[in-house]
Structure 1
Amino acid sequence: MATDFWSSSHYKRWILDRATLRQARADDLQYVDDPEHLDFLSIFFANLISRLGKKLQLRQRVIATATVFFRRFYVKNSYCETDPFIVVAACCYVAAKAEESPVHIKNVVSEARMLFGKHGIKSFPSDNSKLAEMEFYLVDDLECDLTVFHPYRTLMTLCGKAGSANGGDTEAGEVGVGIDDKRYWGTGEGKLELEEGAVQMAWFIINDIYRSDLCLIYPPHLIAVTAIYLTLVLHSSTRATIQAQTQSPPASSGASASSSPPTRRSSRSTASSHKKAAQDIVGFMAALNVSMAHVAALAQEVLALYVLWDRYREDHTGDSARHAFTQGQISPFGAAAAGKQRSASVLSGTASSGGTPTTGEQREDGPPQEPQQVVTPAFLVHLLLRMREARLADMAHPPSGRPMAVNKMLERAQAAG
């Protein structure tokens, strides 16, 4: 097991480019009307993994590992040729083992059947051996690379929280090549001082990033720095502190020395009168050994994810962060801006209809907005069934007139499910 991210299989084999991800979805794109539907499927399955992990009482790190396993598996496979639901259960089962939080296979099967049954999936196998068989297929496609680095430890270490106090909880080398380890990892100096609410917001942003393929494109330390960057913009009190620092002129040391009266040399009076200077947050971010251009680009992609996610509804209430933003109530950053309510609302509801309602708002300062499709889990489940049926039909009746050989992964999925 590699203790350094830069020498690990995560960095060497599983940091992918966008061309690879586009090629991975080439088969699925043939069976969807809108390419955005595949992005909604990413959100849907990440939510399923999170909900199943919570039912199995898994830690957030284990859930994040399961999500990464799922995305790595579908770099080599397509939705239309496999059963993603048994892959979700297998990812949670394998991730729990990899993160040393094992759960019994019977619990995984029973909880998965109950959860997927709420979405109309009745074909999930009740036989434990099917999930055990899928486990081997999953590990095979993962090439036995089960070590996953996550942004959470980098976040907690940079912020000087409890995670960095535990010597075994820091991932060496994750913040950047050539960074001053004494400043950021050993002595406690140079830690970013954030309020507890700001750290929690950054944690939620990292959780949300796993709803997309960004965790396959960017290294974890860059995701953690981007989460902090967005928190500095979105967290109201932290943003106010930064604005006060940038707007207030620096104090003149000479004037202050001449105007202040002489004081007695007393250690007690000196200690009581001394106040810790406010941290230069902007300077801290500038001193990090990362490309701020990459951080800004990733921040824009996170914003695009929230805009897309805002059209995904599980509760059918019609309430959304996007509608609140158009009314000037909150920012458009979903869970990051609204706290934990966004994640809770997304993970709590279930859908009962396969329809795809649309929504559109009219802003006071512009023309009416085009109605946008609102995607529900029931619609996505129906989409998956149509994709698989169309794929099977194409394989049975190809244009050449000769039946195509059944894909090996399709055989695996059918045997397991």
Structure 2
Amino acid sequence: MATNFWSSSHYKRWIVDRATLRQARSDDVLYLDDPDLLGFLNIFFANLISKLGKKLSLRQRVIATATVFFRRFYVKNSYCETDPFIVIAACCYVAAKAEESPVHIKNVVSEARMLFGEEYGIKSFPSDNSKLAEMEFYLVDELECDLTVFHPYRTLMTLCGKEGGGSLPEAEAGEADADDTDGPRYWGTGEGKLELQEGALQMAWFIINDTYRSELCLFYPPHLIAIAAIYLTLVFHAPTRAAIQHAQAQAQPHASTSASHSHSHGQSHSPTRRSSRSAKKPHPQAHAQPQDIVGFMAGLNVSMPLVATVAQEIIALYALWDRYSEDPGVESARAALLQRTRKGRAGRAEAQVQQEAEGATAAATGAVTPMFLVQVLLGMREQRMADMAHPASGRPVVVNKMLERTQAAG
């Protein structure tokens, strides 16, 4: 596996712009009443990959890699022209191989059929292993054999000086080790580590997990996503935010007192020379000061306005996610954030849960459900197939892209 992100295929070929994504979704939006449904589909597909990965006992890094493969595949393809469910199974299968955690193809087929069929009513998933093997071939071809993916987890662990442990998952290999000098050094001087509480570090980890519910992994390098996750953690993690505010409150009076003392001392006495030995002698009662977290973040060799932009996009993802009826068993930082902001609405939240338990429809609750999105996908595909069978030009459309390329090559 390559250790230099800046010379990898991930950086050179798979960081795309928004115009590319808009072009990729140009066919899909023709069959959608609301373009926001594309954002809900991003959440839905990522949740499906996560649930299938857990059934296959895959590590979080493998699940993240499978999600990136899925996003990359649909940079070149449309939802309405393909079967996203077999693509999801193929992404998990190929990602497990790429991350050296292979699973048997029979297990992938059986678990995918059970998950998609029992929970989402998808009865068309093939039971033949050869269909998934064929989809693996198409997937790797669309990925151009670029199977190396870098993730924000290593940046988080490098900046915080952690190697996993406690309630955190194991440390995962990421974009570039700290001794990589070929590319930009986003960690600034490299001196010191960010001191975060265990709960804050776990929240940052979960925020990174949540970003895979969007297309951020296609727009930004992994280290920017990790730093944006830390930035949001400093804002939303109550104990960490309180510690920062307390440290700043203590620093301001101390700075003003020192400045006034130096000013008065300079007026009454001429400056005296002190030996280097006396200057370096520590005070007997000196104690370690709390870390200047704000100064640490400012010292990183990144564009903080760009980090703030990524953070805003993550917040926008949470706002969209709030309108989505959450699949049970999906771990995310969103649940912790909503729990803090909804304490004053506990009664209404309980009423809403009860209403959903009684089978209220998505139209009644104002939420988008997974079953609703399944119906949207099936409708998109049916309309697309009808349009391809009876195009406006009257000429038949080649459905199989591999066959189309073969015919074009002669």
Q: Output the TM-score relative to the length of structure 2.
A: 0.80
Whole-angstrom CA distance in 1 between matches of 2:300 and 2:380: 45
1:302 aligns with 2:304: no
* Residues 265-276 of structure 1 aligned to structure 2 (within 5 Å): 274-276=286-288
Equivalent in the alignment of 1:102: 102
Rate the CA distance shift 1:315–1:159 in 2: closer, same or farther, 3 A: closer
2:389 aligned with 1:389: no
Between the aligned partners of 2:110 and 2:7, the Cα distance in structure 1 is 38
| 1:403 corresponds to 2:396 | yes
Q: How far apart are residue 245 of structure 1 and its match?
A: 2.0
Is the Cα–Cα contact under 8 Å of residues 209 and 215 in structure 1 kept in the other structure? yes
Which of 229, 232, 235 is equivalent to 2:234?
232
- 2:319 partner letter: V
For residues 395 and 357 of structure 2, the distance between their equivalents in structure 1, rounded to whole angstroms, comes to 40
| Contact 1:175–1:221 under 8 Å retained in 2 | no
Q: Would you say 1:56 and 2:26 are equivalent positions? A: no
The CA deviation at 1:127 is 1.0
**Which residue of 157, 173, 176 maps to 1:171?**
176
Matching residue of 2:331:
none
1:123 deviates by 0.9
Change (3 A) 1:397 1:168: closer
CA contact (8 A) 2:228 2:310 kept: yes
Which amino acid in 2 is paired with 1:139?
A: V
Using the alignment, how far apart are the partners of 1:202 and 1:305 within structure 2?
15
Cα–Cα, structure 1 residues 390 and 156, in superposed 2: closer, same or farther, change >3 Å?
A: same
Task: Work out whether residues 150 and 174 of structure 2, in 8 Å CA contact, stay in contact via their aligned partners in 1.
Answer: no
Report the counterpart of residue 36 of structure 1 in structure 2: 36
Whole-angstrom distance in 1 between the partners of 2:172 and 2:371: 45
Residue 246 of structure 1 is matched in structure 2 by 248
How far off its partner does 1:402 sit?
A: 2.9
Q: Point out where structure 1 has 5 or more consecutive residues left out of the alignment.
A: 259-269, 331-349, 360-372, 413-417
- CA distances 1:208-253 after superposition (whole Å, capped 9, x unpaired): 0000001110100000000000000001111011111222225356
Give, in whole Å, the separation in 2 of the partners of 1:130 and 1:351: 37
User: Aligned partners of 2:395 and 2:164: how far apart in 1?
Assistant: 59
Inter-partner Cα distance in structure 2 for 1:233 and 1:156:
19
Alignment of 1:133-148 (within 5 A): 133-148=134-149
Which residue number corresponds to residue 285 of structure 1? 297
**2:46 is matched with which residue?**
46
Question: What residue number does 1:22 align with?
Answer: 22
CA contact (8 A) 2:187 2:300 kept: no
**Residues 1:219 and 2:245 aligned together:** no
**Does the aligned pair in 2 maintain the 1:206–1:227 contact within 8 Å?**
yes
CA 1:390 to 1:324, structure 2 compared with 1: closer, same or farther past 3 Å?
A: farther
Residues of 1 paired with 2:383 and 2:287: CA distance? Answer: 69
The aligned amino acid for 2:59 is R
Return the letter of the residue paired with 1:131.
Answer: L
Q: CA shift at 1:276, angstroms?
A: 1.6
Letter in 1 for 2:19: A
**In the superposition, relative to structure 1, how do residues 125 and 353 fare at CA in structure 2: closer, same or farther (>3 Å)?**
farther
Against the structure 1 CA distance between its residues 75 and 289, is the aligned structure 2 distance closer, same or farther, given a 3 Å change threshold?
A: same
Q: Which residue of 2 aligns with 1:12?
A: 12
Show the counterpart of 2:125: 124
Query: Percent identity of the aligned residues?
Result: 70
Aligned equivalent of 1:340: none
Equivalent-residue separation in structure 1 for 2:173 and 2:381 (angstroms)? 45
Q: Distance in 2 between matches of 1:205 and 1:176?
A: 29
Q: Distance in 2 between matches of 1:219 and 1:94?
A: 22
* Gap regions ≥5 residues in structure 2: 266-281, 329-334, 347-355, 406-410
Q: Deviations over 1:23-77 (max 9, x none)?
A: 0000001001001111111100100000011111111000000000000000000
**Alignment correspondent of 1:357:** 363
* 1:154 has 2:155 as partner: yes
Amino acid across the alignment from 1:286: A
Contact kept, 8 Å, 2:98 with 2:148, in 1: the verdict is yes
In the alignment, the residues of structure 2 paired with residue 224 and residue 73 of structure 1 have an alpha-carbon distance, to the nearest angstrom, of 23
* Corresponding residue for residue 192 of structure 1: 194
Aligned to 1:368: none
Name the amino acid aligned to 1:142: L
- How far is 1:162 from its partner? 1.3
Q: Distance in 2 between matches of 1:235 and 1:175?
A: 33
> How many angstroms does 1:409 deviate by?
6.5
Matched position secondary structure for 1:72? helix
Superposed CA offset, 1:291-338 (max 9, x none):
00001111111111001001111469xxx87698466569xxxxxxxx
In 1, the alpha carbon distance for the partners of 2:24 and 2:298 equals 36
Once the two structures are superposed, the pairs formed by residues 256-267 of structure 1 within 5 Å of their partners are none
Could you say if the C-alpha distance between residues 271 and 112 of structure 1 is closer, same or farther in structure 2, counting changes exceeding 3 Å? farther
Asked if 1:202 is matched to 2:204, the reply is yes
**2 CA distance for matches of 1:176 and 1:280?**
29
SS of equivalent to 2:32:
coil
- Give me the CA root mean square deviation: 3.3
